[in-house]
Chains A and B, each alone.
Chain A
């Protein structure tokens, strides 16, 4: 696999670019306390709505908070929420998909009905409905995104599990009386993992956009927390006087999502070339 990875990286400029963007942002996320030039929450009222300068690299918002520092901390929050929500959805969705595909029959029917139902909502609307139930809060946004994305994992993993179920080694294990749980864990799961990883990378960018959208709508709870969507929302009322607030925050999101999209394509080519047409 690592040979194929180096080959993809050597051959594809897009793959290198995607990996580069994600690594740089990851470093920013990990070092944000040292990278930020100001405290992201400190309000300096006399410096409100200042244009970008040597003191405030990307200007200040309406409370005189440093936009650069808020975006640097925002990177950490976006990455945390993006990874967590997609991670949880991949675990839930993979479990649903394996059980559904392996058992088939009425178990499959029920699981797939639930999946169909969840997919009958435009994703952002379902996420909003879940936030409406649980209350506006970043933690609830993670839960909402995780639940909204898990049906996609369930669908893809189910289709892989359906074919794995018919493989000789699974039939042999069943014939020799191995318990279902153990077959799913030891034989089915390892065979669906690569598909799950491909889908996971491809969904992180979407999750980050979704989180930003929900925060932008004011569903993220505490407005002092520097999320990218929140910063765009902060700048919304001041587009005319201070376009840099929303402007830079949106660029941060766009670049991040481009990075994950390119990386997702590359990982798909490395792990699962057959997949390229299905997704």
Chain B
């Protein structure tokens, strides 16, 4: 187990390095002069020189790369062009909002998606199965941001059950939770649909196995067979889906934050792209990618814990 974790950690190193390099290159890959792009029509020769100096673009590429990496190690992601504040400070301020959203969505999609999938798989062809799977198909096909807007329209504007925009006062827990419900649902429902579909297809496969027939013929209670014998063996693919979902859900958070005007990382990236605030884009992309890599690592370690067979390959 430890050996597996160690090997998986070592495999992550080149990926992290390549991701870091890509993030560094974002500003350098801009066609033409990024400084002129940032300053737009207001560019004067003096301001161009000043901006180039401020971003460190006047130094050789190698030097810039080294200082970028040194900065990263010290937790320094540069300074935002728009707000003139350190990018790291901006990220630290917004990070909790995005994490709450992502975790809420993961919770909703797993807690609701797995039982729906199990229910469908144990009664294939029944009306419950049909309804769940039609719902799941619509759920995976609906764009997250649109679902968010429609929830906003119905539950915040028409019924006034929830606040319309923002994330609320983070010190006030009921207020924060109230602001969280609709965006979590907007992202979580499509995640739930995906989880339900995947759980159903893996459960169907597992339920056809010999050991399930044996367990049944022994006269074990149906719920024991389903939850103890079947679901446990279907757990690995389900964990995969939950892992895959996290990327999808982090992406969904980017959109949902824009829809609900929540001050999270996703909204920060969108605003930064539109304002051509490259240090901010780089910082946010870097942090989100690192979170994603870390989550994938955790998912893989969870597999190893769930399935003893993984050690040997």
Give chain A's interface residues, CB within 8 Å of chain B.
113-114, 116-117, 120-125, 128-129, 131-136, 205, 209, 212-213, 216-219, 229, 232, 236, 239-240, 243, 246-247, 249-250, 253-254, 257-258, 261-262, 277
Contacts and interface: CB of A to CB of B under 8 A. Distances in A.
Given A120-B15, A239-B153, A216 B141 contact: no
A113 B15 contact: yes
Nearest to B142: A254
B146 A253 contact: yes
B306 interface: no
Nearest to A247: B150
B149 A239 contact: yes
Interface residues on B, range: 35 or more
Nearest to B144: A213
Given A132-B281, A261-B141, A121 B19 contact: yes
Nearest to B23: A129
Contact of A209 (B143, B150, B289, B292): B143
A116 B296 CA distance: 12
B137 A120 contact: no
Contacts of A124: 251, 254-255
B15 A117 contact: yes
Contacts of B250: 122, 125
Contact of B19 (A117, A239, A250, A277): A117
Contact of B273 (A114, A121, A122, A128): A128
B203 to A, nearest CB: 13
Nearest to B274: A218
A49 to B, nearest CB: 15
Given A128-B270, A136-B273, A217-B258, A122 B288 contact: yes
Interface string B280-313: 0100010011001100100000000000000000
Contact of B140 (A120, A212, A232, A261): A261
Interface string B191-205: 000000000010001
B152 A239 contact: yes
B157 interface: yes
27 contacts: A116-B15, A117-B19, A120-B289, A120-B293, A122-B251, A122-B292, A123-B248, A124-B255, A125-B288, A128-B254, A128-B285, A132-B281, A134-B30, A135-B30, A135-B37, A209-B143, A217-B255, A219-B273, A229-B143, A239-B149, A240-B157, A246-B153, A247-B153, A250-B143, A250-B150, A253-B143, A254-B142
A128 B271 CA distance: 11
A247 B143 CA distance: 12
A16 to B, nearest CB: 15
Contact of B146 (A117, A122, A246): A246
Given A240-B157, A261-B141, A113 B289 contact: no
A277 B30 CA distance: 40
A262 to B, nearest CB: 8
Given A117-B15, A117-B18, A217-B258, A128 B292 contact: no
B269 interface: yes
Nearest to A209: B143
Interface in B144-187: 144-147, 149-150, 152-153, 157
A37 B312 CA distance: 65
Contact of A120 (B31, B141, B152, B292): B292
B6 interface: no
Contacts of B259: 236
A205 B269 CA distance: 25
Given A113-B15, A232-B146, A261 B273 contact: no
Contacts of B14: 113
Contacts of B205: 277
A212 B157 contact: no
B26 A132 contact: yes
A186 to B, nearest CB: 33
B221 interface: no
Contacts of A114: 18
A59 to B, nearest CB: 15
Given A117-B22, A120-B292, A254 B141 contact: yes
Contacts of A262: 137
Given A125-B250, A125-B289, A129-B285, A120 B19 contact: yes
A253 B141 CA distance: 8
B146 A250 contact: yes
A116 to B, nearest CB: 5
A18 to B, nearest CB: 10
A107 to B, nearest CB: 16
A26 to B, nearest CB: 17
Nearest to B145: A216
A250 B149 contact: yes
Closest 10 interchain pairs by CB?
A250-B146, A257-B141, A124-B251, A117-B18, A122-B251, A132-B273, A122-B247, A258-B141, A122-B250, A239-B153
A227 to B, nearest CB: 12
Nearest to B267: A217
B29 interface: yes
Nearest to A239: B153
Contacts of B254: 122, 124-125, 128
A51 to B, nearest CB: 15
